[in-house]
Amino acid sequence: MTDNDLAKTDEVLEQYKDRAGNLIPILQNIQTKLGYLSKETIKYISTKTKIPVSEIYGVVTFYTQFRLQPIGKNIIRICHGTACHVANASKIADTIFEELNVKPGGTTEDLKFSVEVVACLGCCSLAPVMMINDKVYGRLTSEKVKKILAEY
């Protein structure tokens, strides 16, 4: 961990000091600041909070939000909820995987994109839908997806 990473981690830990049941928000905050949770980060959190590494690792691997690997600059979330499934979301997903040459859950070699398939983004009436960072794109077609990806 760099000094900068350490400082950021300490800042979060300080914020939640002496408050019970805050492991999840601690991890969420640190991940937001560092991008992912490295082995060293987890060990460091364990030393500071006195929560065993095994328990932290258990929580990290239970929730899909947490990442143990670095991620790309832009996160693409492809919705695969019911409405999107009915609207042929698999085709949209295939287009993205093909265009970027990545697998579900993977990151492009240039660290530009990470691609996740998620259960439901809750914009069902715009199906099929994907989200790049905080922006939602709806009523997708393979052609539209290619154009959108080119914008990044």
Residues 30, 123, 132, 149: which binds another protein (CB under 8 A)?
123
Neighbours of 70 (CB within 10 A): 12
* Span 49-78, contacts to another protein by CB under 8 A: 58-59, 62-66
Residues 2, 21, 101, 110: which binds another protein (CB under 8 A)?
21
Neighbours of 39 (CB within 10 A): 11
> Looking at 5-13, 39-47, 102-110, 115-123, which segment touches another protein (CB under 8 A)?
115-123
Does residue 118 touch another protein according to CB under 8 A? yes
Cβ nearer to another protein, comparing 8 with 93: 93
* Span 74-103, contacts to another protein by CB under 8 A: 80-87, 91, 94, 98
